[in-house]
Amino acid sequence: MNATVEGLQRRGLARGLKISLDVLFYLTLVVAVVMRVGALGISSFTDYEDGWEHNVPVAVGEGSFYAHLPVEAVHDAWPALEYTRISAAHGRLRFLHYSLPVHLGRSAIALLFTGLFLWGLTLLRRILATTAGGRPFDPINPRRLNALGWLVLASSALATLLDYMMSKWTLSRIEITTVPLSPPMEIHTEWILCGLLVLVLAAIWKEAVQMAEEQSLTV
């Protein structure tokens, strides 16, 4: 009886998590997709006079590869700020523009990443659905985790590539006379680590499925 109660409690946790993910999924679907598409349609005509915000990663100085860290400048003098000499820096360049194709392009990219996020959420929800149903070692779950891991890694690579291409394209078209800016290749190390972690979990889960099957066929 205690094992049954414990089992129900564990499934309650999975069920609770699934409900949270369901809420997040539909909230993202409504807010990010529906409102963004609606806002895109409206803003394409109403905000034309004020312009749309464009922001791209930029770098100045040495090197063009950066891990995605919240560091705004790299300097080689420490600790007194008065003696700091900035040799390189990177950040984001934000400005208003009036190019509708650029506005539409950015919105399409944002929708693409929202779609990838929703896909990842769907995979997680399906894993939790089987767990809440008492079947955590369903043979399809390792495949779902594997897909999720590769999705995270691919999204990270895509984000890096698109940011670089957008930055390169933008900087080639605008004139900045004061500071020489270059497009950086920002590596999202936290996404890469997350993706690899999920792939490792998928491999472990696959072994667990084999062990569960072996155990279920032990009389």
Q: Note the residues at the interface with another protein (CB under 8 A).
A: 214, 217-219
| CB nearer another protein, residue 178 or residue 215 | 215
| CB nearer another protein, residue 177 or residue 215 | 215
Give the DSSP letter string of 42-83. HHHHHSTTT-EEEEEEEEEES-SEEE--S--EEES--S-GGG
Please, what is the minimum distance in Å from the beta carbon of residue 6 to another protein?
Answer: 20
- What does DSSP assign to residue 96? E
| CB nearer another protein, residue 41 or residue 139 | 139
Q: Which residues contact 185 (CB under 8 A, 6 or more apart)?
A: 64, 65, 66, 160, 164
Phi and psi angles of residue 218, each rounded to the nearest 5 degrees, phi first: -100, 120
Burial (CB count <10 Å: 0-12, 13-18, 19+), residue 198: buried
| CB nearer another protein, residue 62 or residue 214 | 214
Please, what is the minimum distance in Å from the beta carbon of residue 210 to another protein?
Answer: 11
Please, what is the minimum distance in Å from the beta carbon of residue 2 to another protein?
Answer: 19
CA distance 144 to 127: 7
| CB nearer another protein, residue 110 or residue 212 | 212
Please, what is the minimum distance in Å from the beta carbon of residue 7 to another protein?
Answer: 17
Please, what is the minimum distance in Å from the beta carbon of residue 214 to another protein?
Answer: 5
